[in-house]
Structure 1
């Protein structure tokens, strides 16, 4: 049995499911609105929610796509008992998650969110070029027009920016200095790029796509500001063997067998920006005709 943990309506998950159906494979999809109870059935761990149920031993492979396996905890009126029960249930949940991660897997729930600062340090140690960056509480060291800022976290979204509208924090160029201090923020050297590269990494293989985002003012600084009226040109791209070896070493260091990496090509250099274990790669598959969904299904 294959277990897939994902968000509701994730298009990448849907594409992989289509392949699993064509292969006549049994699978369970757990979405982020499910809460499981852990029970014993014939002395075996059994997980059940309002939608799914399965024996832990029946799971042979697992794809942690997004979201997470969530648990419903029993509560008692006596607070003293609750403290003990919470600890007990925590370790049962930990056992379930670690048992699942010991099986054939694509990524893990336990390391699905990486620390960007550590990733950049590791990338440099593996020999990847990284734009100069620093943390600061003011703009004293910032050179306007030549410095960008972005979130220290992954790709944070903002809920209800305006009525019925959510938002996203994009990379931005600093055009002037601030007078006031602020919370510790991430700043990085602005690189004049030739184009961007999105690389999907899966079990030692790299599948890369060049994104010509610099030709459009809307996407020049951050290609995620998609121009749906005039989309960027996206084409297959081949990285050098030496660069792919460095990517492989970095992913092993991060204990990841799957993820999306971002680079910028500037002259003869390839600048590493970040890795997202749960990043989107459907666009890489669609635009470049890579059989990524089939590869994931076959592996599972």
Structure 2
């Protein structure tokens, strides 16, 4: 039995499920709105939610797409007993998650979020070119128009930035000084690029796409500012073998067997930007006709 952990209506998950159905494989889809009770039936751990019911030892492979296993904890009326119960249930939940991650898997719930600062340090040790970066709480020493700022975490979406509108933090060029100090933020050297590269990595294989975002002022700094009227050109791209070797080495250091990596090509230099273990890769599959959904289904 294959266990898939995902969000509701994730299109990438749906595409992989279509292949699993075509291959006549049994699977269980767990969305992020489910809460599982832990039970025991004939000495076997049973996990049961309002939608799914399965034994832990039935699961042979796991795909952590997004979301994750969530548990409904048992509570007594006596609060002091619950302190002990919470600890006991924590370790039981930990056992279940670790057991699932010991199965054949694509990604893990425990390392689905990576520390960008550590990743950049590991990337430099692996031999990648990385644009110069630093942390600052003011713009006193920042070189205007030659420095960008971006989130220190992953893709940040701000709910309700105004009435009926959400916001996203894009990569932005620093064009003017700030008068006041602010919370510690991430800054990086602005690289004049030929094009960007999104690489999907799966168990030692790299599938890359060149994104010609610099041809459009709207997407020049951050290709995620999609221009629906004039989309960027996206084509298959073959990274040099030495870059693919470094990708595999970095992913092994990070204990990741799947993820999306971003690069910038400037002249003869490939600059590493970041890796997202659960990043979007459907665009790489669609634009470049890579069989990524089937490859995940086959591996599971």
| TM-score computed with the length of structure 1 as normaliser | 0.99
Mapping of 1:57-72 within 5 angstroms?
Answer: 57-72=57-72
Provide the TM-score with structure 2 as the length reference. Answer: 0.99
Please name the residue that 2:110 is paired with: 110
1:236 maps to 236
CA distance, structure 2, for counterparts of residue 196 and residue 261 of structure 1: 11
SS of 2:110 mapped into structure 1: helix
Paired residue for 2:146?
Answer: 146
Aligned match of 1:224: 224
Q: What is the RMSD computed on CA atoms of the aligned residues? A: 0.6
> Match for residue 9 of structure 1?
9
**Matched residue, 1:255:** 255
Distance between the aligned counterparts of 1:96 and 1:154, measured in 2?
Answer: 27
The number of residues matched between the two structures is 300
Distance in 2, Cα, partners of 1:168 & 1:40:
44
Q: Superposition pairs for residues 69-80 of structure 1, below 5 Å?
A: 69-80=69-80
Q: Deviation above 3 Å: which 4+ runs of structure 1?
A: none
Which residue in the other structure is 2:98 paired with?
98
Q: Superposition pairs for residues 107-186 of structure 1, below 5 Å?
A: 107-186=107-186
Unaligned runs of 5+ in 1: none
Match in the other structure for 1:199: 199
Give the aligned partner of residue 286 of structure 1.
Answer: 286
Matched residue SS, 1:105? strand
Residue 179 of structure 1: how far off its partner (Å)? 1.5
Query: Structure 1 residue 163: deviation in Å?
Result: 2.2
1:209-262 CA distance string (max 9 Å, x none): 000000111100000010111100000000011010000000000000000000
Q: Report the CA distance between 1:76 and its aligned residue.
A: 2.1
Alpha-carbon shift at residue 156 of structure 1 (Å) = 1.0
Q: Cα offset for 1:77?
A: 2.2
Rounded Cα–Cα distance in structure 2 between residues aligned with 1:115 and 1:266 = 25
C-alpha offsets along residues 190-212 of structure 1, whole Å, 9 cap, x if unaligned? 00001000000000000000000
Name the SS of the counterpart of 1:210 in structure 2: strand
Q: Which residue of 1 aligns with 2:38?
A: 38
Cα offset, 1:99, TM superposition? 0.2
